[in-house]
């Protein structure tokens, strides 16, 4: 008979929308070949998934129609057998459009469920990003370059079928490898995609994550007031004014006050790094940043507020000085420390850190161009990730 299996795909809106759709659709097509029924759907259909705001797709597979309809009484599953993060930087947490406060990537993963992540990082490094859970679960890492398979531009980089091949490995009760490969062949009519799925099946590493492993930070929670406790009308509290920056003995510049709960960084796959020695104080980054993320330092340079930055890259594009602002893969960072404070504490060490960041840049996926491309790239990237790898 079997039971109902829930799969969640977490992706960055627009940039990875096609990828998420392909995965959820592939799950259902393969499950049907195994005699089951299923449905694939997105949580959002339009504007909330603009830009890189994290969004979700789901695939629910049940042994028969009655079971499927029963599970669909709830719009989205309360817990998942598999949660897929199509980009390793999503493991730091996601703040979507429809809720308030950062949520762990593994929030819905049930006991012994599995979190599937595409990454060139080792599993241990990904565990460090993920919030702790009170029970063991599994982490499956597909050796892959995070993909931008978007709404407007479809990067056919095989990430979709690689994830599908891995699903057959980590959740055989959902679908067999044979059924998955047959569904891929029928849907895409491409033997190379079938090969990619099989390779992912063979190469994916799976490890158990214990309750004492991972990010110990307590996720943001809130309690909805009952209707008798609600205030009359609606009030939006104003933001307080900002204040000068203070570092050591230096006081000056301006740091605006920001919403302490709303963390826009979960939209980000890349983070700007500022080389303060090169900055000519032209103000362009500060003026052009659509999210007002820069604090003015006492030296009138501009310091990134890493909680507020959505990673759009506008600042790096408008900065007139070569290599003064560089976009770096978010996976290279372990905290949100002020770059300027770090620079002031030790300018020489900061310069070395910036150089390391630039040297350790890892590629984002921009398409499948030739046979064997991924095997070459991933081996190279993984060899690089063994060292300091540009990490903090």
191-203 vs 159-170: helix crossing angle, rounded to 10: 50
Q: Which of 126, 121, 199 is nearest to 162 (CA)?
A: 199
Measured from the Cβ of residue 18, the count of other Cβ atoms closer than 10 Å reads 21
User: Min. distance of Cβ 268 from ligand SF4 in angstroms?
Assistant: 7
Q: Both ends of the chain: CA-CA distance in Å? A: 50
Number of residues that bind ligand SF4 (CB under 6 A): 26
Q: Which stretch binds ligand SF4 (CB under 6 A): 33-41, 200-208, 231-239, 309-317?
A: 309-317
User: Min. distance of Cβ 150 from ligand SF4 in angstroms?
Assistant: 18
Query: Quick check: 379 binds ligand SF4 (CB under 6 A)?
Result: no
Is the CB of 2 or the CB of 150 nearer to ligand SF4?
150
Query: Quick check: 321 binds ligand SF4 (CB under 6 A)?
Result: yes
Q: For residues 292 and 114, give the distance between their C-alpha atoms in angstroms, rounded to a whole number.
A: 37
User: Min. distance of Cβ 273 from ligand SF4 in angstroms?
Assistant: 10
User: Min. distance of Cβ 263 from ligand SF4 in angstroms?
Assistant: 13
Query: Quick check: 298 binds ligand SF4 (CB under 6 A)?
Result: no
User: Min. distance of Cβ 279 from ligand SF4 in angstroms?
Assistant: 3
Query: Quick check: 284 binds ligand SF4 (CB under 6 A)?
Result: yes
Considering only 281, 337, 366, 380, the residue that binds ligand SF4 (CB under 6 A) is 281
Query: Quick check: 311 binds ligand SF4 (CB under 6 A)?
Result: yes
Residues 254-273 that bind ligand SF4 (CB under 6 A): 272
Query: Quick check: 53 binds ligand SF4 (CB under 6 A)?
Result: no
User: Min. distance of Cβ 281 from ligand SF4 in angstroms?
Assistant: 5
Residue ranges that bind ligand SF4, judged by CB under 6 A: 272, 274, 279-285, 289, 291, 293, 302, 304, 309-315, 318-319, 321, 324-325
């Amino acid at each position: 008979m079997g039971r109902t299996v829930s799969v969640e795909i977490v992706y960055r809106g627009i940039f990875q929308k096609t990828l998420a759709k392909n995965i959820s659709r592939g799950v259902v097509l393969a499950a049907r070949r195994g005699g089951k029924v299923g449905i694939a759907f997105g949580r959002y259909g339009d504007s909330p998934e603009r830009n890189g705001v994290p969004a979700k797709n789901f695939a629910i597979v049940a042994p028969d129609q009655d079971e499927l309809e029963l599970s669909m009484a709830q719009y989205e599953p309360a817990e998942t057998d598999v949660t897929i993060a199509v980009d390793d930087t999503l493991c730091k947490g996601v703040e979507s459009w429809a809720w308030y406060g950062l949520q762990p990537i593994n929030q819905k993963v049930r006991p012994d469920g599995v979190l599937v992540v595409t990454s060139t990082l080792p599993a241990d490094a990904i565990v460090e990003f993920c919030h702790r859970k009170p029970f063991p679960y599994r982490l499956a890492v597909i050796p892959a370059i995070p993909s931008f398979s978007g709404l407007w531009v479809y990067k056919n980089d095989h990430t979709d079928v690689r994830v599908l091949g891995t699903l057959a490995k980590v959740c055989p009760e959902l679908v067999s490898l044979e059924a998955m490969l047959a569904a891929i062949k029928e849907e895409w009519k491409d033997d190379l995609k079938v090969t990619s799925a099989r390779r992912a099946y063979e190469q994916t590493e799976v490890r158990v994550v214990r309750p004492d492993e991972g990010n110990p930070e307590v996720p943001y929670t809130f309690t909805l007031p009952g209707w008798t406790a609600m205030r009359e009308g609606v009030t939006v509290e104003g933001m307080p004014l900002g204040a000068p920056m203070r570092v050591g003995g230096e006081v000056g510049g301006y740091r605006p006050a920001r919403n302490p709960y709303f963390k826009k960084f979960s939209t980000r796959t890349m983070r700007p790094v500022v080389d303060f020695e090169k900055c000519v104080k032209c103000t362009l980054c500060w003026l052009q940043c659509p999210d007002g993320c820069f604090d003015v330092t006492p030296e009138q340079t501009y310091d990134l507020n890493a909680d507020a930055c959505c990673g759009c890259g506008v600042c790096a594009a408008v900065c007139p000085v070569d290599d003064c602002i560089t976009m770096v893969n978010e996976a290279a960072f372990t905290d949100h420390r002020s770059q300027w404070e770090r620079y002031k504490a030790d300018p020489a060490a900061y310069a070395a850190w910036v150089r390391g960041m630039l040297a350790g840049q890892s590629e984002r996926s921009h398409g499948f161009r030739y046979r064997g491309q991924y095997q070459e790239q991933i081996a190279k990237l993984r060899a690089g990730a063994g060292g300091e790898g540009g990490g903090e």
